[in-house]
């Protein structure tokens, strides 16, 4: 901090600290001299010793502050909300590690300011759009996105920080608290019935059309970097490769640094596929023997795409689907089409595992009971996958996964016992072992 001050200011700061030092020293000496042979003297001696320790602590702190490199001083303070994104901690999940004999590590992405790993994606997409002069901060432009929640929340947060508006289109069957949070962040929320991607009113398609409609009036007048017009920007998280780049340039390098490259396997689910592709591509280029695994919820076609190169799920068969979209209570992962972001992982994924809804629900309850971790549905899927891989590889290995978000935005669905029971799931008050993973 002192490196950013002028020499004169430095001298004033140091002089003030030394003044406190000498004042406290003088006071202690005078008081001690007045009662050196009495009970008061003993009290003052103790008081003087405490002051001496305090002065020593102040002096040490000041010395450390003066000697701290400027780059480290700057890292102590983050610049705005964007500065809070990334550099999330890695946690060893004790119960899972102890039970499997492996170190199961999870990157705590729920500690991003918007509460999920999608903060990285939102920041990357907005930065890219600004760099390409598609968006100009503060000019009244609106960011449009189709999302089941987390990306929309992250975009709404960053939109406020950069002076934009946010228009979020989402299925009407997602957890209620997601739309409530979006509205509190100032976003316009449009809910639609879940339909196939081939339908023009599917939530992603509708968000794209809304962006195109928004920009028409301003496009007629033209725009320039000198006189930028407000625009409707479709973020397009599924196809926008700024998603992949966010994880290739931040999440992957952070994992490598935190583990010092000592990773045997990485495992996670995929929605847009950007996280899986970005992290895997980065780490595999540096850890030759690393294994990468996809974990996929019920109804998603990605499992079969990785295993058999066929985008198909048996639950898509006529009359078999129980719920809309993919056939799962899990939100945020699972899809039935191949996105540009997921395609970036081609040749990098070694195998895939299916995770049932029951396994995901039980894992979430197990981690609350054993570790005090309150996680969301996609995080639970990841942890089931991590245990599967640990059992397959055997004790002594290190497996890394992500805790994408917490359970706070899943209260009305994934953490709603009544809702889960209606879906035919067995909801237990306490899950105290891992026997539910088959």
* CA 177 centroid distance within chain: 18
The CA distance from 88 to 118, in Å, is: 13
Q: φ, ψ for residue 25 (rounded to 5)?
A: -65, -45
The CA distance from 279 to 285, in Å, is: 10
- Measured on CA atoms in the order 198, 203, 207, 212, is the torsion positive or negative? positive
3-state SS assignment for residue 115: coil
- Listed residue (203, 145, 200) closest to 172, CA to CA: 203
Find the radius of gyration of the CA atoms of the chain.
27
Active site residues: 118
**Which tokens is 121 given?**
């994606």
Q: Using an 8 Å Cβ cutoff, are 386 and 380 in contact?
A: no
Give CA separation, 327 vs 180, 198, 426, in Å: 24, 18, 17
User: Strand locations in 172-252, DSSP E?
Assistant: 188-192, 232-234
Q: Using an 8 Å Cβ cutoff, are 116 and 153 in contact?
A: yes
């Amino acid at each position: 901090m002192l490196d950013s001050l002028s020499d004169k200011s430095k001298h004033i700061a140091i002089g003030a600290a030394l003044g406190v030092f000498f004042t406290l020293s003088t006071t202690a000496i005078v008081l001690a001299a007045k009662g050196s042979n009495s009970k008061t003297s003993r009290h003052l001696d103790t008081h003087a010793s405490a002051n001496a320790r305090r002065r020593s602590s102040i002096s040490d702190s000041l010395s450390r502050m003066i000697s701290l490199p400027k780059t480290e001083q700057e890292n102590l303070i983050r610049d705005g909300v964007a500065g809070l994104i990334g550099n999330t901690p890695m946690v060893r999940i004790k119960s899972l590690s102890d039970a499997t004999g492996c170190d199961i590590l999870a990157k705590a992405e729920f500690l991003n300011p918007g509460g999920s790993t999608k903060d990285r994606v939102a920041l990357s997409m907005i930065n890219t759009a600004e760099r390409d002069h598609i968006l100009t901060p503060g000019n009244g432009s609106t960011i449009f996105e189709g999302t089941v929640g987390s990306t929309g929340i992250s975009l709404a947060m960053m939109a406020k920080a950069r002076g934009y508006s946010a228009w979020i289109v989402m299925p009407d069957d997602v957890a209620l608290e997601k739309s409530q949070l979006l509205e509190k962040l100032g976003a316009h929320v449009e809910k639609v019935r879940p339909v196939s991607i081939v339908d023009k009113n599917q939530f992603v398609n509708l968000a794209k059309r809304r962006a195109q409609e928004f920009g028409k009036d301003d496009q007629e007048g033209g725009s320039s970097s000198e006189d930028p017009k407000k625009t409707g920007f479709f973020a397009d998280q599924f196809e926008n490769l700024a998603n992949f780049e966010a994880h290739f340039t931040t999440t992957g390098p952070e994992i490598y640094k935190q583990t010092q490259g000592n990773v045997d396997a990485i495992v996670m689910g995929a929605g847009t596929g950007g996280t899986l592709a970005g992290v895997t591509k980065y780490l595999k280029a540096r850890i030759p023997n690393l294994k990468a695994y996809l974990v996929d919820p019920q109804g998603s076609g990605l499992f079969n795409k990785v295993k058999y190169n066929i985008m198909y799920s048996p639950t898509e068969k006529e009359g078999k689907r129980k719920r809309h979209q993919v056939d799962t209570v899990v939100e945020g992962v699972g899809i039935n089409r191949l996105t540009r972001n997921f395609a970036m992982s081609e040749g990098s994924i070694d195998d895939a595992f299916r995770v049932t809804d029951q396994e995901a629900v039980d894992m979430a309850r197990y981690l609350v009971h054993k570790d005090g971790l309150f996680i969301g549905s996609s995080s639970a899927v990841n942890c089931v996958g991590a245990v599967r891989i640990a059992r397959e590889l055997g004790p002594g290995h290190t497996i890394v996964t992500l805790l994408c978000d917490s359970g706070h935005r899943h209260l009305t669905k994934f953490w709603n016992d009544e809702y889960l029971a209606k879906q035919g799931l067995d909801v237990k008050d306490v899950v105290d072992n891992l026997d539910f993973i088959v």
